[in-house]
Amino acid sequence: MGLVHLFKKPMVKRRPFIKNVFVTALSVCTLGLLGAHGQRAVVGNPLRVNEARIVTRLDELAKFGRDDRGHGYRVAYTKGDIDGRAWFIAQMKRAGLDPVIDAAGNIIGKRQGKNPKLPPIAFGSHIDMVPDGGNYDGPLGSLGALEVIDVLNEHKILTEHPLEVIIFSNEEGGTVGSMAMAGNLTPAGLQQKSQSGPTMAEGIKAIGGNPDNIQSSVRKRGDLRAWVELHIEQGGILARENVQIGVVEGIVGIVHWEVTVEGFANHAGTTPMNVRQDALLAASRLVIAVNEVITSVPGNQVGTVGKLAVTPSAYNVIPGKVVLGLEIRDLAADKIETLFREIERRATAIAATSNTVIRFDRQANASKPALTDKALQQTVQAAATALGLSTKLMQSGAGHDSQEMAAIAPVAMIFVPSVGGISHSPQELTKPGDLANGANVLLQTVLSIDKAKAQ
């Protein structure tokens, strides 16, 4: 019998002490239901996901694309990807969803709401993987979304909003499916080669899409009430700090520069050290300067020189030319630019002292930072807190489909720990309890969004 029913009975003969106990208990429950930010949360709410079912489905999905040696290769547009998608569509149908494949190859499982005029709440992720990747990056968010639907079905709950479980195509190859949905997939992009060989257009056809009608997959701002993505945290921060849930404040922007350092190639045995124009020596000083600049200011920004090509690359020739790749990531675009200007200033000084020339060529593949919705951050926080889970507000240093979706809908991301911070690897692992924690936060977040008024 609930507390509300108890209060409907006469209290005249009850002792004041007993009455006070009930009043206190009711107050605690009420605070729990509202959560830390006034959102409807989960104390007293019996809805919980089925941990064993999530683990079983992750194991089943992992079989698709696996070779005889146990290595995973469910790369977009391969047979493993196609077979895995067919399996997922079958799971959607069993859960009562009405799945369709849009022109970009995205799988969209639809569930009706009480009010069909309301925009759908969408959640999900992707199931394609990098070559020899792990079983959790993408599949957790996808199967966590399916688990939410199963729980709602089991408890016969019909939400006010329609719901959509979206499994984006080719996330690992450049967020192709979500890029198309956001209206950013260009004709040139469709002709680019995919990781598995075919062009993006050919791959989209292979998985049931229609690249000739790619515009039909585009959603406008307002078409979705929200997009929520559950994902493993790929940097190991949660695991190191023993935090259960990451509340993502945004996805970093990424800018690349190809840097050319030109000196003069000359005989390594006969050219004195004090007259050399050693391009590699100058490049080495620049690499150190990048690290010094990036670490000289507070924040979570990162800078990397991850590519280096030396010409002529011989034991007995002083390097005359070096091409290196510079990448800077941060949640603020202006901070990226400030850091780059300081690196450029340091490069000018290095070039002067080494008698070399250093040029920076900004690449066209830059991605802008994408902030998650503040109100949805609070909703995720409230859900996690009410479940008794520890949280950390954090940025995502990796790209996700949510980065594209932020252009057309309010976005939230939920992170759970990955053991050792390992990702894109067969050793990728998230513990069953953490899988369930994330899915429970996703479930309660979706329910809270459904009850809350649109911002």
Task: Please give the Cα distance from 291 to 304 (Å, whole number).
Answer: 8
304-344, pLDDT tens digit by residue? 999 999 999 999 999 999 999 999 999 999 999 999 999 99
Q: pLDDT by residue (tens digit) across 141-170?
A: 999 999 999 999 999 999 999 999 999 999
Structure tokens at 426: 């067969």
Using the structure block, give the residue that is written with the tokens 């993502």: 248
Q: Which H or E element spans position 395?
A: strand 391-396
Query: Among candidates 419, 420, 412, 418, which has minimal Cα distance to 441?
Result: 412
pLDDT of 45 reads 63
Nearest alpha carbon to residue 36 among 248, 247, 249, 331: 247
> Reduced to 3 states, what is the DSSP secondary structure of residue 179?
helix
Whole-angstrom Cα distance, residue 412 to residue 373? Answer: 6
The pLDDT profile of the chain, 455 residues, written as one tens digit per residue, is: 333 333 333 333 334 433 343 333 333 343 344 333 333 444 456 799 999 999 999 999 999 999 888 888 999 999 999 999 999 999 999 999 999 999 999 999 999 999 999 999 999 999 999 998 999 999 999 999 999 999 999 999 999 999 999 999 999 998 999 999 999 999 999 999 998 999 999 999 999 999 999 999 999 999 999 999 999 998 899 999 999 999 999 999 999 999 999 999 999 999 999 999 999 999 999 999 999 999 999 999 999 999 999 999 999 999 999 999 999 999 999 999 999 999 999 999 999 999 999 999 999 878 889 999 999 999 999 999 999 999 999 999 888 999 999 999 999 999 999 999 888 888 899 999 999 999 999 999 999 999 986 54
Q: Dump the DSSP string for 249-283.
A: EEE-EEEEEEEEEE----BTTTS-GGG---HHHHH
Instruction: Report the alpha-carbon distance of residue 325 to residue 309 in Å, rounded.
Output: 9
The token duo for 293 is 């600049």
- Comparing C-alpha atoms, which of 395, 105, 108 is closest to residue 237? 395
Structure tokens that stand for 395 in this block: 């940025």
**425-429: which pairs have CB atoms within 8 A and are 24 or more residues apart?**
425/132, 425/133, 425/134, 426/70, 426/71, 426/72, 426/132, 426/133, 426/134, 427/134, 428/133, 428/134, 428/135, 428/136, 428/137, 428/232, 429/134, 429/136
